[in-house]
Amino acid sequence: MAAPMAAGTDPRALSWYEATARQRVAALADPGTFHEFLPPTERRMSPHLPLFDLPRAFDDGIVVGRARLDGKPVLVAAQEGRFMGGAFGEVHGAKLIGLLRAARDLRPAAVLILFDTGGVRLQEANAGETAIAEAMRAIAELRAAGVPVIGLIGGRAGAYGGGGLIAGACSRLAVSEGGRISVSGPEVIETNQGAEEFDSRDRALVWRTMGGKHRRLIGGADAFAADTVAAFRAAALDLIGRAPAFDLATLEAEQARLEARIARFGDCRDATEIWARMGVNDPDAVPAMTTASFDETVARVAEAHHDAR
Amino acid sequence: MTLAEILASLFPEGHAVRVADGLVTGRAPFDGAEAAVIGIDGDTPLGVEGALALSRAVLDAVRAGDRVPILVLVDSDSQRMSRRDELLGLNECLAHLAKALLLADRAGHPTVGLIYGHSAAGAFIATALATRVLAALPGANPSVMDLPSVARVTKLPLERLEEMAKSTPVFAPGLDNMVATGAVHAVLDPARPLDAQVRDLIAGLPAEDVRDRLGAERGGRPVAQAVAAAVAAEARRG
């Protein structure tokens, strides 16, 4: 389904951030193995957006299907951040739920969720919110059945709102510099608490607080990927092989990990204070670090390495 | 009903349920055995500390291994919206609480939500919506976002949204709409003892997630069940 590439263009060199959901999936999978369920030709569109005089998408902003990754069967869902911010509407959410439920029977080597979402689509808010709860329940069942659920986060819409909660339910997460993971977005915090609390126009503050490097350093994500499809593919393959079990021991460990984080960093006002306390030598240099030197920094931070998710 | 009235009706033999900083935790005699209770009272927003206090109580119940029902009583605000909460990984803390409830469910604890006031967004997903069956009391007001905020984001006039809300349950706040969506399974009768009604809910726990079927039957989510079924059928066709 991917758009034809110019001759000589390596699809895996594509910028994850710039690519569409279909380009990401086609290039992430083994070549030619992606098969989409309910493709755009089926035109399963939102029944609700016309009420708001809004344009619809033939796929409702999410691509779901099966593929092979290094020869292994996987199921894949990829949100399209360019359509309504990748937000969860009724059809969008139901496509993810259908995929997760099928995975319970099919037992693929993994389910990959390529997040690119601002959260719930307000025009279909109740359906979106309920779908997020259904997704978290389905992910817990899948993980308990031994199927790793891997989240990949590097799209322009990030993983906000309910997307951030679903991400937190995954077995493992890979994130790039441009990927952001958060519940309340910068604009939401500013609207509710004022610009003194959060100036949403301060992009550096947004990246420091919610961006991929901060999430990786504090252990909110398990791998840091450069902004290419190739890097996310390598991260996904690595993470599938080391997915934690979904059991009491894992959640007890996560409880201890999160409690320790708040005890240790709860008085920090800025991410740079947290990084300094973690032993990062030059916290102010972190945002500009190359992937290679950031990887070296992460390797020295204890909080970044755990099976407690 | 107030939380005190609800607890009295749920636990006529008395209870050891406490409220501190809007967080509800404790145990009580229930149905010949015990029940564990967690919750949020007083329209309190749920931040990182609150989420971890509640998840700890849930994990304690799972570790005890007695498979007692876990009741989740909710009158909350949304997630706490602050720079500090996001800095500290609120998404992980809320997801952790939901996972604790889902783990408890898998470990044999009946998990029953009861929304008796407000709840919204991330706080709703991490608590009431993570239970196997969610009931409400009349007057409860679950929402994703209030209409004036929806008006700001969608750039539609508030009057038009109010008019649309009368006929379109899929976006409008309120209990009736969440019932129509299938998110809320049942509305309880405050005039009758709650303990018997909750016992009935536990006796009739759905074996799997029926929320999209309820949404189709009640008309609040007209296509979700069919779309999910179509995707699953294609996937299984191999």
Q: How many Cβ atoms from other residues are within 10 Å of residue B120's Cβ?
A: 23
- Cβ-nearest to B236 among A38, A106, A130: A106
Using the beta-carbon criterion (under 8 Å), do B89 and A218 form an inter-chain contact?
yes
CB pairs under 8 A between A and B: 269
**Which CATH number do you get for residue B85?**
3.90.226.10
Classify residue B178: in a domain, yes or no: no
E strand or H helix at A4: none
Give this complex's ipTM. Answer: 0.97
A229-284 residue pLDDT tens: 999 999 999 999 999 999 999 999 999 999 999 999 999 999 999 999 999 999 99
Structure tokens at A205: 């503050």
Residues in A closer than 8 angstroms to B52, CB to CB, are: 255, 258-259, 262
pTM for the whole structure: 0.97
**Residue A175 contacts by C-beta under 8 Å, 6 or more apart in sequence?**
A153, A154, A181, A212, A215, A216, A221, A223, A224, A225
**Residue A249 at interface with chain B, using a CB cutoff of 8 Å:** no
| Residue B171 covered by a domain | no
Stretch 50-79 of chain A: residues touching chain B, C-beta under 8 Å? 51-52, 64, 66, 75
Mean pLDDT over B91-117 rounds to 98
Q: What is the total count of domains within chain A?
A: 1
Q: What CATH number corresponds to the domain at position A36? A: 3.90.226.10
B23: domain range?
Answer: 3-137+188-207
Average pLDDT, chain A: 95
Q: Is residue A208 part of a domain?
A: no
In a domain, B103, yes or no: yes
The answer to whether residue B8 is domain-embedded is yes
Q: Please check whether residue B115 lies inside any domain of the structure.
A: yes
Residue A159 in any domain: the answer is: yes
Residue whose C-alpha is closest to residue B172's, from B143, B148, B152: B143
Q: How many domains does chain B have?
A: 1
Q: Do B89 and A215 touch (CB under 8 A)?
A: yes
Tell me the pLDDT tens digit for each residue of A35-85: 999 999 999 999 999 999 999 999 999 999 999 999 999 999 999 999 999
Q: Is residue A3 part of a domain?
A: no
In this predicted structure, what is the pLDDT of residue A8? Answer: 54
Question: Per-residue pLDDT averaged across B130-154, rounded?
Answer: 89
The answer to whether A183 touches B94, Cβ cutoff 8 Å, is yes
**Residue B109 resides in a domain:** yes
Q: Is the pLDDT of residue A227 over 70?
A: yes
Domain carrying residue A225: 11-181+220-244
Q: What are phi and psi of A289, to 5 degrees?
A: -65, 145
Q: Which of B91, B145, B224 sits opposite A181 (nearest CB)?
A: B91
pLDDT of residue A7: 45
- What pLDDT is recorded for position B151? 84
> Is A100 part of a structural domain of the chain?
yes
Q: Does the beta carbon of A10 lie under 8 angstroms from any beta carbon of chain B?
A: no
Residue B223 lies in a domain: no
Has residue B96 been placed in a domain? yes
